[in-house]
Structure 1
Amino acid sequence: MKLYVKQMYDWNYYACYAEDVDEKYWNYFKTELWWQLGNGFIKTYDNVEGFEYCAKNFMEFGEDSVNQSLKIAKAPWQEALQWLIIEMKKTGAPWYLHGSTAMALWGIDVEPRDINIIVANYSDYDRVREHFYQYAIKPFQRCGNWVMSGLGTVFHQANIGFSFNNKELEPYDMSTLRKTEYKGEVLYISTLEMLKRDNESYGRPERVEQIEEKIKRC
């Protein structure tokens, strides 16, 4: 599999390419909304602010990013999380861990292939984006009043996905979350009920079963 990015038409229009993709990995690219061209895929970005950084980072880290997402390579998520904790402190924005990393910190036997965080308050989008956009491998973009108000992904040893809560949830009540200690740091993570609902919606029965077993033991 060959990954690269091209700037098109001499303006802020870029295309990410994946060539010679094994058929068993096609579904990943389709889920990520890439267009299929034979055994290759393309994803375009037109006039996205700051995408020149995404292009640079995709060229440098795209192979690691995709291989970790496909579980071809292990993601050093603990090292990435330690970096993230330091950097998020600099923003001053409240946030919490979701997804498989939150499950791992609950003591559930999973091996995260990435980190997913939720920035608690809609109003923190600009300062979080401003701090992280140079590390982005997928651009920070607002999503209107969708399930989340904004999304973005950075790569620092592992993929770190950012989601931003919607405006109506602000100010977000962090006391509704699980507070846990990780390597001397106090972190907020999603509750087991939140994780169960999320995995049910994604059709992951094995993870739902793991979470239910954890709920019984708590």
Structure 2
Amino acid sequence: MKLYVKQMYDWNYYAYYAEDVDEPYWGFFKNELWWQVGNSFIKPYDNVEGFEYCAENFAKYGETAVYQLLKILPAPWEKALDFLIPEMKALGVDWFVHGSAAMALWGIGVAPRDLNVIIPNAADYDKVRSRFFRLAIKPFERCDNWLMSALGSIFHEAVIGFAFQNAAPEPFDMNRLTRLDYHGEAVFVPGLESLRQDNAAMNRPDRVSMIEKRMREAARA
């Protein structure tokens, strides 16, 4: 598999390319909305603000990032989290870890392929984007009236994906989450029941079983 980025014309129009992709990995690229051409895939970006940083970062880290997301390479998500904690502390916005990394922080035996971060207050989008857009491997873009209000990904040791919740009448109550200790730092994650419901909704019975086992262990503690 060969991955690279190409400027398509003499303006802000780029495309990511993945060539000679083995068929078992096609599903990943289709889910990420890449265009398929034979056994290759293309992801175009037309006139996206600041995309020159994404292009530069993908040229440096794109192959590593995609190989981690495909689980061809292990993703050092803890190193990514070590980087992120002081950055978010300096930024001063609420955030929490979700997905498989949240499960791992609960002590559940999964191998995260990235670090999923939720920004619960949509109004913090500009602050977060301004801090991280030069590290982006997937651009920060608004997608209002969807499941989330904005998305974006950076790469530092592993992919760190940011998802911004939709605007709400009141600020998000972080007390709805669970505060865990991570190397002496407080990191917020969803509760086990919330993770169980999310994975059940996504039809991941293996993960549901792992979470339920952890819930039983927590109840006995």
TM-score, normalisation: structure 1: 0.97
Q: How many residues are aligned here?
A: 218
Over the aligned positions, Cα root-mean-square deviation in angstroms equals 1.0
Secondary structure of the 1:168 match is coil
Which aligned segments of 4 or more residues in structure 1 are displaced greater than 6 angstroms?
none
| TM-score under structure 2 length normalisation | 0.96
* Identical residues among aligned pairs (%): 60
Q: Does 1:121 align with 2:121?
A: yes
Shift of 1:11: 1.1
Task: Work out the CA distance in 1 between the residues paired with 2:193 and 2:82.
Answer: 26
Residue matched to 1:61: 61
Q: What is the identity, as a one-letter code, of the residue corresponding to 1:43?
A: K
Equivalent position of 1:111 in the other structure: 111
Secondary structure of the residue aligned to 1:167 is coil
Task: Tell me the residue number matched to 2:85.
Answer: 85
| Counterpart amino acid of residue 79 in structure 1 | K
What is the SS of the residue equivalent to 1:110?
coil
Per-residue CA deviations over 1:70-129 (Å, capped at 9, x if unaligned) read 110001111111001011112111100100111011111111111001012111000000
Does residue 18 (structure 1) correspond to residue 18 (structure 2)? The answer is: yes
Q: Distance in 2 between matches of 1:188 and 1:143?
A: 25
Aligned twin of 1:192: 192
Mapped pair 1:133 → 2:133: yes
Q: In 2, Cα distance between the equivalents of 1:170 and 1:145?
A: 18
Structure 1 residue aligned with 2:171: 171
Residue in 2 aligned with 1:97? 97
* Aligned mates of 2:33, 2:180 — CA distance in 1: 35
Q: CA deviation at 1:169?
A: 6.0
- Counterparts in 2 of 1:169 and 1:115: CA distance versus 1, 3 Å: farther
Q: Distance in 2 between matches of 1:200 and 1:118?
A: 19
Distance of 2:51 and 2:9 partners within structure 1: 15
Structure 2 Cα separation of the partners of residues 197 and 48 of structure 1: 35
Q: Is the 8 A contact 1:121 1:169 kept in 2?
A: no
